[in-house]
Structure 1
Amino acid sequence: MREIPYAMKPKSQGTPKTASKKSSQTHSVGLYAAQCDECFKWRLVDTQEEFEEIRSKLIEEPFYCNRKPDVSCEDPADIEYDATRTWVIDKPNIPKTPVGFKRKLVLRKDFSKLDSYFTTPTGKTYRTRNEIALFIKENPEYKDMNPSDFDFGSPKVMEDTIPEYVSNGSSKKRVKSLCI
């Protein structure tokens, strides 16, 4: 079973000037990738929806390079696992986000974990399954949904790709992007 990563990318609203000052920089998913079960090369996945489709069936349907048009294991990898990006790895077989809803992952400033949020078709954003349950109860058109359809689990941040300034207090090394 192969891992399924995200590449996180900072949305710069400013840059950290010193380690002691709070940064207004937020980090969100910038790239999606899947690892081939045969050659172990990383292949970029074009959209969040495609990524969620692969992730939701990864155990039953492992990812292979040839799933991408005109790509084979003989081709070079699309992206390499390295510390130029912060990588986070999601669990396989997490259900796809229900149609009309959007899953958003936000990396905490200390890079300790990602927080999961779901935005409804009406534009409201929720952080917990209880909030989703209340939304479903208050909106009968979603009565066929179950709060368990929403996975608030947090992908694992790969420690070997966390920027140096996070662990040693130096703000000189900046994040280029974050991978999941």
Structure 2
Amino acid sequence: WRKLETVEHFEDFRSKHTKDRFHCNKLPGTTCEDTTNIINYDSSRVWAMDKPNIPKTPQGFKRIVSMRNDCSKLDVQYLTPQEKKIRSSVEMACYLDKHPEFKDLSPSDFSFMAPKLMRDTVPKIVVKDPASGTKQKKNDKNRQ
């Protein structure tokens, strides 16, 4: 794994992942022999895998990916140039309709597809056992 210098570099590589595969020689000012930007896949941080070919975030907007408090999944939203948070493609379509200055954009220029959380990197203290949900706990109390 390689650390990219900017979000723009990451979005550029992600947007054309299947057409133009990433290679370390494509990073400005580095070679594959340069090990200073290597990141080891381990549990020292929570990892998530983005889908390939997600469109680059349009200029003026910001794509925000946030993890839920229980570390169960990630959510995607966009911050508009007016600082409004958009949480779905339907909401984005309405926003674009109301703002003619973005007439060149369409909802397909935005992806609300959340990256896949890599469960093996989530700290064990926050991982919930799917078999021990709220209903199960209520049933256990009723049996006592």
Secondary structure at the aligned position of 2:95 is classed as helix
Q: Does 1:111 align with 2:67?
A: no
Q: Does 1:57 align with 2:22?
A: no
* Structure with greater proportional strand content: 1
Which structure has more relative contact order (CA 8 Å, sep 6+)? It is 1
Partner residue of 2:100? 140
Work out which of the two has the higher radius of gyration on C-alpha atoms and give 1 or 2.
2
Among candidates 99, 110, 127, match of residue 167 of structure 1: 127
The one-character-per-residue Cα deviations of 1:61-101 (angstroms, maximum 9, x if unpaired) are 11111112342222336210001001000011111111111
The one-character-per-residue Cα deviations of 1:119-164 (angstroms, maximum 9, x if unpaired) are 1111111101111111111111112211121100010000110012
Percent identity (aligned): 48
Q: Does 1:81 align with 2:52?
A: no
The one-character-per-residue Cα deviations of 1:23-82 (angstroms, maximum 9, x if unpaired) are xxxxxxxxxxxxxxxxxxx11011111110110011111111111234222233621000
Partner residue of 1:124? 84
**Structure 1: unaligned runs, 5 residues or longer:** 1-41, 170-180
User: Under a length normalisation based on structure 2, what TM-score does the superposition of the two structures give?
Assistant: 0.83
Partner residue of 1:71? 30
CA distance in structure 2 between the aligned counterparts of 1:49 and 1:108, rounded to whole angstroms? 24
Between stretches 154-163 and 71-80, larger displacement belongs to 71-80
CA distance in structure 2 between the aligned counterparts of 1:69 and 1:45, rounded to whole angstroms? 10
**Number of residues paired by the alignment?**
128
Counterpart of 2:19, as a letter, is: E
Runs (4+) of structure 1 exceeding 4 A deviation are: none
User: Under a length normalisation based on structure 1, what TM-score does the superposition of the two structures give?
Assistant: 0.67
1:109: how far off? Answer: 1.2
**Structure 2: unaligned runs, 5 residues or longer:** 130-144
User: What CA RMSD, in Å, does the superposition of the two structures yield over aligned residues?
Assistant: 1.6
Secondary structure at the aligned position of 1:55 is classed as helix
CA distance in structure 2 between the aligned counterparts of 1:70 and 1:146, rounded to whole angstroms? 35
